[in-house]
Amino acid sequence: MLEIAATQDQKQITAYPEALKVVHGDETKVAVLLNRNARLVTDKLVRKIERLVGRDHVYYSRSLEEAEAFTREIIQKNYGTIACGGGDGTLTGTVNFVQRYINEANRWRVERYERFGERQDLIGMPRFAFLRLGTGNGIGPVVGAQSPLQDLRKLIEYLPGRNHTVPMMDADGEQCFVAGFGYDSVLLNDYNQLKKTTNNPILKPMMHSVFGYLAATVAKTVPRALFSDARVEARVVSVGKGYFVDSRRGDAVIEIEPGTTLFEGPASFIGAGTQPYFGYRFRAFPFSNIMPNMMNLRIATLGPLSTLFNLPKIWRGEFRNHKRIQDFLVEDVRIELKNPYPFQHSGDAQGMKKEMRLSMAQSPLKLVDFHTPRMIS
């Protein structure tokens, strides 16, 4: 593939390097795509964003179908930057919609060249900007996202060329930064249910904060784990090369051959990430950045009470117990489950799965870097 998803058939492109040129949109041309279902996307904020970038450059989606249609229109209008207003799921959902459309469009262009000899410009992947308007906002600390309006103003006024490339992984065809089975996916389902069923006018707004996750943990997930077996029983096999991480030293020490069974049995958590955070700065994958083109696979066998007791250290990514938490750096793994189990990626529930393939995406995602530049004296 060229870029993250210029086409699904790299051989076709490399065979005709002069005839098939990848063309990127103008990065100074910014489209804003807002998740209208996000709690923080208010009418007042929408009006401010429209005044800042112009109404014609702002798109509002209330459904996946609308979001997909808008991403097609945005690419067709040659926007080089897509600013996504929502959470991690909004960003990764948009990336996947764009990727699928670009794949489809570039396949057609390759076919036109092969059949009629017409020179074709292939569509390059745009860059993305994360506007921090979701609940957990796991990718936010990675790119320095703060106030959505201030970040958008920075983007338009003086950050046209500041980019940060973030590796992504492929979860059975879906691009994402973090994914997993276990207490996290059960907790996510419990959290979503608690948000829907909480009608108290005082508590309801709090459900959209870290308090909501903690409330779901204490009220639902932990009791369920205590009185019924909520663990995921699975076999995890390394399809590509990998390394075992010594969590006490924080480095990769033992190389793993493809085909190695990394784990087999019941676990409280099996997940992987190409960046550290789940959301609310929960540092679930503290070793995700220590080796290029590798994701941090983490397998935990902690019980519910031990998890709750050590939650502050686990949250900060500082808990170390190599008998209860195993860390690996891998490029491709297969997770085989004994029974269907809830799966999540990007903070969104993805239904029940009995098998999952997680592998590194071929190219990283280009994201706008909102960090304040360091002054060199």
d(CA 285, CA 235) in angstroms, rounded, equals 20
Q: Which domain holds residue 130?
A: 10-167
Residue 220: per-residue pLDDT? 61
Residue 13: per-residue pLDDT? 52
pLDDT > 90: what percent of the chain? Answer: 58
Confidence class of residue 19 from pLDDT cuts 50, 70 and 90? low
pTM: 0.85
Torsions phi, psi for 218 (to 5 deg): -75, -40
pLDDT of 217 over the 70 cut: no
Of the ranges 42-56, 119-133, 177-191, 238-252, which one carries the lowest mean pLDDT score?
177-191
Using an 8 Å Cβ cutoff, are 299 and 269 in contact?
yes
Shared domain for 334 and 355, answered yes or no, is: yes
Q: What share of the chain is helix, strand, coil (3-state, %, to 5)?
A: 35, 35, 35
Average pLDDT, the chain: 86
Using an 8 Å Cβ cutoff, are 74 and 59 in contact?
yes
Shared domain for 79 and 144, answered yes or no, is: yes
Residue 96: per-residue pLDDT? 97
Structural domain contains residue 53 = yes
Residue position matching structure tokens 């959505």: 148
Shared domain for 162 and 302, answered yes or no, is: no
Domain boundary among 135, 167, 199: 167
Domain boundary among 141, 167, 193: 167
Shared domain for 94 and 214, answered yes or no, is: no
Structural domain contains residue 369 = no
Q: What is the pLDDT of residues 125-178, one digit of tens each?
A: 999 999 999 888 999 999 999 999 999 999 988 766 689 999 999 999 999 999
Three-state DSSP string of 28-63: EEEEEEEECCCCCCCHHHHHHHHHHHCHHHEEEECC
pLDDT of 9 over the 50 cut: no
Residue 13 vs residue 300, higher pLDDT: 300
Shared domain for 217 and 317, answered yes or no, is: yes
* Number of domains composing the chain: 2
Using an 8 Å Cβ cutoff, are 82 and 126 in contact?
yes
- Characterize the bridge pairing of strands 295-300 and 269-273: antiparallel
- First-residue to last-residue Cα distance in the chain: 42
Structural domain contains residue 374 = no
Shared domain for 108 and 196, answered yes or no, is: no
pLDDT of 285 over the 60 cut: yes
Of the ranges 104-118, 213-227, 230-244, 314-328, which one carries the lowest mean pLDDT score?
213-227
Residue 223: per-residue pLDDT? 63
Three-state DSSP string of 95-128: HHHHHHHHHHHHHHHHHHHHHHCCCEEEECCCEE
163 is written with which tokens? 């980019």
Residue 31: per-residue pLDDT? 97
Which residue in 133, 117, 100 sits closest to 20, CA to CA? 117
- Please give the C-alpha separations between residue 242 and each of 33, 59, 60, 167, 177, in angstroms, as whole numbers: 37, 42, 42, 16, 18
Helix (H) or strand (E) holding 64, with range, is helix 64-76
Shared domain for 323 and 286, answered yes or no, is: yes
Shared domain for 322 and 209, answered yes or no, is: yes
Shared domain for 144 and 266, answered yes or no, is: no
Confidence class of residue 201 from pLDDT cuts 50, 70 and 90? low
Confidence class of residue 61 from pLDDT cuts 50, 70 and 90? very high
Shared domain for 163 and 258, answered yes or no, is: no
Task: Give the mean model confidence (pLDDT) for residues 209-215.
Answer: 66
Using an 8 Å Cβ cutoff, are 195 and 280 in contact?
no
Shared domain for 88 and 213, answered yes or no, is: no
Question: What CATH number is given to the structural domain containing 255?
Answer: 2.60.200.40
Structural domain contains residue 3 = no
Structural domain contains residue 371 = no
pLDDT of 11 over the 50 cut: no
Structural domain contains residue 365 = no
Confidence class of residue 112 from pLDDT cuts 50, 70 and 90? confident
pLDDT of 276 over the 50 cut: yes
